[in-house]
Structure 1
């Protein structure tokens, strides 16, 4: 049976772009070992970037949501306690949904993947849920963009990179909006660098492991030169889980 038109990869793009999962978390902070999930989104985009499946969660993280975090994603402690579901239930369902994508061979896009997948792993261990120790294949537009356009000046936040690749991002720091935008950025990267990208998501996943390690080493050297990092310290380049 021929695949439906909307599931076809765009002309010239790798085959994996015809169906991609997208994943994003909004949290209580940035320490992946200790912070908690507040909102989560897992979805599925077709080859045109249209949303074909979408699921979002609001959790009661069980701790206070700092004002600084609430100012970014808009969820206060009071709102999460009143409307959020128990964190353990949310974590279990997010993991189950991601596993279903990986089991189907669908790559999952996450911008700055080590943050989301590492925090999710720590949350799983916290609640006695089997974690996803080795998510694969993962596509991280941050790593891919740095690999293929290394010397472009400016920040590499999702908002900046989305604008660079003409991908709309409305409602930044909403888990759904960020996840979908990251997926579309990945597809834009695949179109832009189609002649240089590996043909399969599995091979791209493997290359990103090396790229992320090299990028962390280069950034460590820079931070040491400007005095932002002690010479004995190095940034962790493990990917997609730290």
Structure 2
């Protein structure tokens, strides 16, 4: 059997913002999906991030400071999330994450912040990287809700930006890509697919940085990371790992 016909684990977060070095996880979901059994085991967290949630972030995911105050201790929660992902990787099960370098890097920084060590990872499948590789010149948004629509996956604007709904949509996109659109990725062994995505992401990021340079947006270009699925930690954070 190929990887997409076996168990998949999907991961997504909702956060206080988009800066992986300073923002925090507010909600997270890890879904264990078994295509053969047709079942989904859901693990979900509401986390007290320890900082204020900006209004613009609340407008996206709907979590207010008052709601988050009832959430889990962040150190305990991120350790549990890492345990679930680590268990999948130890079983050689891939973790599906849309725009994986954001969610996994943010989790890594949270682990360093609260537990003193970073995230170990195995094979990752990122439907965004795959989509950009095979549809480089397709116009339009690459947001999850729009890419889901392209692959005929049900995810309404109302459902989007909930961690569990987004994680499930990402897994369904990955399955659809492998089953119907790009069967060559279904024939790749997981280490090969992971390595290919590292290369594809680096090429995509280099192209974006080049675009920014040509637009005179040099600071934006300098902020683009070629690394996937984890961005390197700054020296101060790396020292705590």
Aligned to 2:47: 59
Question: How much does 1:77 deviate?
Answer: 0.6
CA deviations on 1:24-72 (whole Å, 9 max, x unpaired) are: 0101111001111100000112237954211100001111111110110
Question: How much does 1:155 deviate?
Answer: 1.3
The 4+ residue runs of structure 1 with deviation greater than 4 A are 48-51
Aligned to 2:199: 210
Q: Which range moves more in the overlay, 187-196 or 160-169?
A: 187-196
Asked whether the equivalents of residues 209 and 224 of structure 2 are also in contact (C-alpha less than 8 Å), the reply is yes
Q: TM-score normalized by structure 2? A: 0.89
CA deviations on 1:151-191 (whole Å, 9 max, x unpaired) are: 11111111110000001114100000000000100011101
| 1:230-241 pair list within 5 angstroms | 233=222, 235-241=224-230
Q: TM-score normalized by structure 1? A: 0.88
Aligned to 1:85: 72
Measured at CA, do residues 49 and 66 of structure 1 come closer, stay the same or move farther in structure 2, by a change above 3 Å? Answer: farther
Which of 129, 133, 137 aligns to 1:147? It is 133
Which of 127, 138, 146 aligns to 2:124? It is 138
1:127 match: secondary structure: helix
| 1:15-164 pair list within 5 angstroms | 15-47=3-35, 50-81=38-69, 83-133=70-120, 135-164=121-150
Measured at CA, do residues 224 and 62 of structure 1 come closer, stay the same or move farther in structure 2, by a change above 3 Å? Answer: same
Distance in 1 (CA, whole Å) between partners of 2:142 and 2:37 is 21
Measured at CA, do residues 106 and 85 of structure 1 come closer, stay the same or move farther in structure 2, by a change above 3 Å? Answer: same
Distance in 2 (CA, whole Å) between partners of 1:199 and 1:159 is 27
Which of 170, 180, 189 aligns to 2:168? It is 180
Measured at CA, do residues 136 and 214 of structure 1 come closer, stay the same or move farther in structure 2, by a change above 3 Å? Answer: same
Asked whether the equivalents of residues 4 and 178 of structure 2 are also in contact (C-alpha less than 8 Å), the reply is no
Q: Which range moves more in the overlay, 222-231 or 154-163?
A: 222-231
Distance in 2 (CA, whole Å) between partners of 1:99 and 1:76 is 30
Q: Which range moves more in the overlay, 120-129 or 222-231?
A: 222-231
Aligned length in residues? 228
Aligned to 1:166: 152
Aligned to 1:5: none
1:79 match: secondary structure: helix
Asked whether the equivalents of residues 124 and 131 of structure 1 are also in contact (C-alpha less than 8 Å), the reply is yes
